[in-house]
A and B are shown apart, each in its own frame.
Chain A
């Protein structure tokens, strides 16, 4: 019960939710979360209590923010292009490997 792991709410009974953490279900208390939580929502769990409801939009927003950070390097920057090239090469190698594994 540590590290504030995010999980998906499966059921709710009074002030307790059954939450799915990547396939493992646990019971989590809801007294501390400041929004209404519904089955299907994601929550951040810490020592058995939900401390925050995480919205899908916020997750996508964060990922977009990281992409921005990477794109902020100027186009004239050769090194950044190098890195982007390496990222793409690694990504396609991964995709290739995954396809191969299937």
Chain B
């Protein structure tokens, strides 16, 4: 027990974190212009940055933009509506906890649960399978999350679940959306922090072609405070050196090929198709759907999903005015959006950037930010500030 605690502490050592933050400031300044914009595309990175207050330690001249990496946030309204429709039709639905309150077009799963629909919150797909096994009625698992989570769904499906277990797949695949963001005109993103857990599955090799095609570096990062800071230092170094490279800063979990066994299971069950992500329009190959061989387990092919009923009386689609895509590309700011702070609020989010606790819009709203470089002080930030002051000597 003591060694685990000691190990954990090493990746969470505030002194080293402060040193890395100072190094980050130093490296950003070597680039000599402001701001330098990089993007992360992982919900766990968002959560880690939020949970540790790392944003207050980032240099003012570095924009760490939240990309479309929160699977909860980018699950589009119609997909949530499908789950809602099934629930309203009397079918039992199992879902991960974080999807429960995400708004569909007119309601969330929490709302229909309050109406009396049977929604089970699960922390693992295996739990959903167990619920199905213990019941004689159909159980639809609302499968959300990126490839890291999709492999678990695949494993469960390959593990011979009961015939009343169905999957409504809203899984997403990350690499295609990085392409989309890079291709956006006026995109300011100069480098990507890649999701460490997704890369554990896919390997970092998937980014080799990407960096050449889009001429931006990619650094794979872990999730402890030191992991994130160190990866940012490396990423900014690559930006400084104009290096179109992939660097793996999470070697304890990520290899070039990744987890081949898991990849095999993933592609046995799923195929990629294009689809909408909330706030970011069409992403080719960004959605994962069940292959034909699995139609017997596919909720979409076994139940008629009455979306029209869900959309009856729905409010006008404000989502059409949502500019989250531009915000994620670093092209626009939340204050450029006419919905921000009016119709779009944390209590009533329209786009992904407001759904996510680490979304740009959500942060700006909570911290009352008016521009990208709003100062929030902290011990790591103090080191940064000292480094800044040192540079001006």
Contact between chain A and chain B defined by CB under 8 Å = yes
Interface residues of A (CB under 8 A from B): 1-4, 8, 20, 22-23, 29, 31-34, 44, 46-49, 51-52, 54-55, 58-59, 61-63, 65-66, 69-70, 73, 77-80, 82-84, 86-87, 90-91, 94
CB-CB under 8 A from A87, the residues of chain B are 15-16, 18-19
- Residue B223 lies at the interface, judged by CB distance under 8 Å to chain A: yes
CB-CB under 8 A from A29, the residues of chain B are 126, 152, 155
Task: Check if B152 sits within 8 Å of A47, measured CB to CB.
Answer: yes
- Residue B259 lies at the interface, judged by CB distance under 8 Å to chain A: yes
Task: Check if B15 sits within 8 Å of A79, measured CB to CB.
Answer: no
User: How many Å from the CB of A63 to the closest CB on chain B?
Assistant: 6
A82-B386 CB under 8 A given contacts A47-B124, A48-B126, A51-B148: yes
The complex places the Cα of A35 from the Cα of B234 at a distance, in Å, of 29
What sequence of 0s and 1s flags, for each residue 2-25 of chain B, a beta carbon within 8 Å of any chain A beta carbon?
001101101100111011101100
Contacts A/B (CB < 8 Å), 28 sampled:
A1-B124, A4-B44, A4-B200, A22-B1, A23-B1, A29-B152, A31-B155, A32-B151, A34-B259, A34-B260, A34-B262, A46-B149, A48-B127, A49-B152, A51-B200, A51-B259, A51-B262, A52-B259, A54-B253, A58-B252, A66-B20, A66-B226, A70-B20, A79-B390, A83-B18, A83-B386, A87-B16, A94-B15
Task: Check if B4 sits within 8 Å of A47, measured CB to CB.
Answer: no
Task: Check if B200 sits within 8 Å of A52, measured CB to CB.
Answer: yes
A33-B19 CB under 8 A given contacts A44-B253, A49-B152, A59-B252: no
6 new A-B contacts at CB < 8 Å, known A20-B4, A33-B259, A86-B383: A32-B151, A32-B265, A46-B148, A51-B201, A54-B253, A90-B14
User: How many Å from the CB of A6 to the closest CB on chain B?
Assistant: 8
Task: Check if B234 sits within 8 Å of A69, measured CB to CB.
Answer: yes
The complex places the Cα of A82 from the Cα of B387 at a distance, in Å, of 9
CB-CB under 8 A from B20, the residues of chain A are 66, 69-70
Partner of A4 from the list B223, B262, B383 (CB cut-off 8 Å) is B223
- Residue B125 lies at the interface, judged by CB distance under 8 Å to chain A: yes
Partner of B252 from the list A8, A62, A69, A86 (CB cut-off 8 Å) is A62
CB-CB under 8 A from B145, the residues of chain A are 47
Partner of A48 from the list B15, B22, B123 (CB cut-off 8 Å) is B123
Interface residues of B (CB under 8 A from A): 1, 4-5, 7-8, 10-11, 14-16, 18-20, 22-23, 26, 44, 47-48, 96, 123-127, 145, 148-149, 151-152, 155, 158-159, 196-197, 200-201, 222-223, 226-227, 230, 233-234, 249-253, 259-262, 265, 383, 386-387, 390-391
Q: Nearest 5 pairs between A and B by C-beta?
A: A48-B124, A58-B252, A1-B123, A79-B390, A34-B261
Task: Check if B44 sits within 8 Å of A47, measured CB to CB.
Answer: no
A32-B253 CB under 8 A given contacts A3-B47, A8-B4: no
The complex places the Cα of A55 from the Cα of B252 at a distance, in Å, of 7
Task: Check if A83 sits within 8 Å of B152, measured CB to CB.
Answer: no
CB-CB under 8 A from A65, the residues of chain B are 230, 249, 251
The complex places the Cα of A25 from the Cα of B90 at a distance, in Å, of 36
Residue of B nearest to A82 (CB): B390
CB-CB under 8 A from A1, the residues of chain B are 123-124
Task: Check if B252 sits within 8 Å of A54, measured CB to CB.
Answer: yes
Residue of A nearest to B48 (CB): A3
Task: Check if A66 sits within 8 Å of B230, measured CB to CB.
Answer: yes
CB-CB under 8 A from A48, the residues of chain B are 123-127, 152
The complex places the Cα of A66 from the Cα of B343 at a distance, in Å, of 44
User: How many Å from the CB of A19 to the closest CB on chain B?
Assistant: 11
CB-CB under 8 A from B197, the residues of chain A are 4, 44, 46, 51
Task: Check if B23 sits within 8 Å of A73, measured CB to CB.
Answer: yes
Task: Check if B387 sits within 8 Å of A83, measured CB to CB.
Answer: yes
CB-CB under 8 A from B265, the residues of chain A are 31-32
User: How many Å from the CB of A62 to the closest CB on chain B?
Assistant: 5
A90-B152 CB under 8 A given contacts A32-B259, A65-B230: no
CB-CB under 8 A from B387, the residues of chain A are 79, 83
Task: Check if A3 sits within 8 Å of B123, measured CB to CB.
Answer: no
CB-CB under 8 A from B10, the residues of chain A are 63
The complex places the Cα of A65 from the Cα of B158 at a distance, in Å, of 39
The complex places the Cα of A7 from the Cα of B384 at a distance, in Å, of 33
CB-CB under 8 A from B19, the residues of chain A are 70, 83-84, 86-87
Task: Check if A73 sits within 8 Å of B26, measured CB to CB.
Answer: yes
The complex places the Cα of A79 from the Cα of B250 at a distance, in Å, of 28
Residue of A nearest to B230 (CB): A66
User: How many Å from the CB of B355 to the closest CB on chain A?
Assistant: 17
- Among A33, A49, A69, the most chain B Cβ lie within 10 Å of the Cβ of A69
